[in-house]
Chains A and B, each alone.
Chain A
Amino acid sequence: MTSTSSERVVVKELSSSLLDMKFMLSRKKKIEAKKAKSRDAQLEEKIRESEASSSSIAVTAEAKLEYCNDYSKLENLLFGRMSFNGFNKDVELLMEYYEKLRNGELTDDEDEGMDVNDQEMAQTMGGGKLAALSKKAQTKRERAQQQEQNQESSGGRRFNFKDIRKRYSEQNGEGEEPERKFMRPNDD
């Protein structure tokens, strides 16, 4: 018992509120598995001690027997979802993941799914500021060139109604736009 209490002092424990956070789930799982294992081992030892003291019967082989009704563990079954010839790409990725899991090749550090993609991450981590800074450092010509490129990539110039109206009036032979008058609304 003394050994366990001294261990408790040495082992650094993470607070429960921290472990409840979403990104700590995998770590929490690991810690819980470890705790359960040590608890089981202690319990087993206790039982063995009490059995040895209460009766002279030696611990038989039967004590080692384990029961398992889970067919997927007994037969080492595959994951139930499969896709062939690229019918469902997501499921084919999952098949790889579960195959790794089954062979015990999966490491805890590797995270196959990204919640936030790289571009979004860069944008939120101050990418916008950096872009503004680099724009400041550019010369006038460079800036103009970049704008031109942007316009090309976004599919030409913006729709400008003033331009269109101007062109239309030129086609009709009128030099200027007709003068507009304020029309007072009728009261009735």
Chain B
Amino acid sequence: MTIYLPGDVVNEPSSSDSSIIGYGINVRGETKVASQPGVYRSDEGKMWLNVHSKRYIPQEGDRVIAIVTSKTGDFFRLDIGTAEYAMVNFTNFEGATKRNRPNLKTGDIIYASVFDTTPRTEAELTCVDDEKRARGMGQLNGGFMFNVSLNHCRRLIHPECKILQTIGKFFKFEITVGMNGRIWMNAAGVDDIIKIHDVIVKSEFVKEDDELINLVQNGYTRSVSD
């Protein structure tokens, strides 16, 4: 594991032939320089830094969890954890037309993907894919939302991560992970929600599989009232 600080020259192994430069690395002439502090990762011709952060910077293609804050004309104003509010046009929902507007109120939570991040304007979101289908995006009803760090969110939905699979062995629940560090989940009862929330928050600093299984088991058996 190699850690780079901003300004460090990234020494990639001579064997790798990375042609895709990812997050946190800038190219200056012949050298690659880290622009953010992070852990070096590489995979199939890609190289990037895994950066720990809590502030989200919108990136095209990210799926995020947003809170409706107000309605202005044809747009809903959304809080996605960035400095500026984001916008979503009311026609960018499945089944919505000019006459048939989606029924969203202030405080509702939606799952949407970022599709426009032009500088100096608000990020624009959409709740449909390019075939005009929702496919899991849209309003999230009920449940509970909380924040974790961005890299923990990414870890949770990494293909090799076992955290959610292990929790799924014990609990019956549903979860939505946003790339902006927000997690929304729903389970059968309040007790289960509290237990799963605790396990997810604590699992950020768990590395080994055994440790993880212990954590989930303890979370499952403990009583919430104490």
Interface positions of A (Cβ within 8 A of B) = 22, 25-26, 29, 62, 64-88, 91, 94, 97-98, 113
Is there an interface contact between B157 and A78, defined as CB atoms closer than 8 Å? yes
Judge whether A68 and B22 touch: CB under 8 Å.
Answer: yes
Q: Which residues of A contact B136 (CB under 8 A)?
A: 79, 81, 91, 94, 98
**Residues in B whose Cβ lies below 8 Å from that of A66:** 19-21
When C-beta atoms are compared, the residue in chain B nearest to A94 turns out to be B136
8 Å CB interface, B31-62 against A: 41, 43, 46, 48, 59-62
A70 pairs with B62, CB closer than 8 A: yes
Query: Number of A-B pairs whose CB atoms are under 8 Å?
Result: 117
How long is the Cα–Cα vector from A74 to B175 in the complex, in angstroms? Answer: 22
The contact sample of 11 A-B pairs, CB cut-off 8 A, is A25-B132, A66-B20, A74-B43, A78-B157, A79-B63, A80-B179, A82-B157, A82-B168, A83-B173, A87-B174, A87-B188
Return B194 CB to nearest CB of chain A, in Å: 16
A91 pairs with B174, CB closer than 8 A: yes
Q: Closest 6 CB pairs between A and B?
A: A84-B168, A85-B172, A80-B177, A83-B174, A94-B136, A88-B174
Contacts of A81 in B (CB 8 A): 111, 136, 174-177
B131 interface neighbour in A26, A62, A78, A82, Cβ under 8 Å: A26
In the bound complex, CA of A75 to CA of B39 (Å): 13
Chain A residues with CB under 8 A of B60: 70
Closest chain-A Cβ to B96's Cβ sits at a distance in Å of 13
Count how many chain B residues have C-beta atoms less than 8 Å from C-beta atoms of the other chain.
42
Q: A25-B131, A77-B158, A113-B133 are in contact. Are A82 and B174 (CB under 8 A)?
A: yes
Q: How far is the CA of A19 from the CA of B175 in the complex (A)?
A: 37
Q: Is residue B148 within 8 Å, beta carbon to beta carbon, of the partner chain?
A: no
Contacts of B153-184 to chain A: CB distance below 8 A = 154, 157-159, 164, 167-168, 171-179
- Please pick, from B30, B62, B135, B176, the residue contacting A72 in the complex, using a CB distance under 8 A: B62
Closest to A77 in B: B157
Closest chain A residue to B188 by CB distance? Answer: A87
Selected from A22, A62, A79, A88, the residue in CB contact (under 8 A) with B132 is A22
Q: Is the CB of A70 within 8 A of B59?
A: yes
Chain B residue nearest to A76 in the complex (CB): B159
Scan residues 125-142 of chain B and give those whose CB is less than 8 A from a CB of chain A.
130-133, 135-136
Closest Cβ of chain B to A72, distance in Å, is 7
For the complex, give the distance between the alpha carbons of A73 and B135 in Å: 19
* A29-B130, A82-B164 as given contacts; A68 in contact with B20, CB under 8 Å: yes
Bound-state Cα–Cα, A154 to B15, Å: 74
The distance from the CB of A37 to the nearest CB of chain B, in whole angstroms, is 16
Confirm or deny: B10 has a beta carbon within 8 angstroms of a beta carbon on chain A. no
User: In this assembly, does B27 line the interface, its C-beta being within 8 Å of a C-beta of chain A?
Assistant: yes
Residues of chain A within 8 A (CB-CB) of B48 are: 71, 74
With A72-B179, A82-B157 already in contact, 15 other A-B pairs whose C-beta atoms are closer than 8 Å: A22-B132, A25-B132, A68-B20, A68-B22, A68-B46, A74-B43, A80-B63, A80-B176, A80-B177, A80-B179, A82-B168, A82-B175, A84-B167, A84-B171, A88-B174
Is B92 interfacial (CB 8 A cutoff)? Answer: no
Write out the residue numbers on chain A whose beta carbons fall within 8 Å of the beta carbon of B41: 74-75
- Contact assessment for B21 and A87 in the assembled complex, using a CB-CB cutoff below 8 Å: no
Question: Which residues on B sit within 8 Å (CB–CB) of A98?
Answer: 135-136
Residues of B within 8 A of A80 (CB): 63, 111, 157, 176-179
- Which chain B residue has the least Cβ–Cβ distance from A88? B174
CB-contact partner of B130 in A25, A65, A68, A82, under 8 A: A25
